[in-house]
Amino acid sequence: MANYLARGTGAQSLVEVPGQATSAGAADAGKIPQLDSTGRLDQSLMPVGVTPDVYTSTASGALSAGDWCYVKSDGTIARATAAAGTPVQADGFVLSASANGAAATLFFEGRNTALSSLTVGARYYLSDTTPGGATPTPVTGTGKIHQYLGKAITATTIAFEGDDAILLA
């Protein structure tokens, strides 16, 4: 933990004060920030518009890190699927696993870094066989949806490019 010296009161002209690793808002105004364990500033210390565009709610079903998800009409977060009969396009992705009924954070943009075994340079689409999954093969078949998710930039990362889904005839 990083500390700094601040002006004290009474007999103590200087006191050692810890840096602020996270912010609770206005109550922390004027405090000096410190870097977290990753060497970066916590998102709570950043102004609006600088942090990722996310939505936090309750998981509707168990979610795995890297799942492609959507916001249901009741506000919960669930796995998206391109499957016929129940196709629902992805609004974004989750980077951390969440149990059914637990808190989940949906990222609406950015890089999904919680994946594996991707082919670098390949285009990926919402899967019609694995809820919350992605496939490098464009989806085909009546009643399914075709949704481009983005391009694999590493073996574990897809740069998400949210796009409208097309319902296939």
Q: What is the pLDDT of residues 143-166, one digit of tens each?
A: 999 999 999 999 999 999 988 999
| Pairing relationship of beta strands 148-154 and 54-58 according to DSSP bridges | unpaired
Q: Evaluate if pTM is beyond 0.85.
A: no
Half-sphere exposure of 137 (CA within 13 A, CB side): 6
Query: How many degrees, rounded to 5, is the angle at CA 73 between CA 150 and CA 52?
Result: 40
Closest CA to 115 of 137, 140, 133: 133
Spatial distance between the Cα atoms of 86 and 17, rounded to a whole number of angstroms: 55
Beta bridge partners of 112: 158
Instruction: Read off the pLDDT band of 49 (50, 70, 90).
Output: confident
Whole-number pLDDT of residue 159: 98
Whole-number pLDDT of residue 116: 97
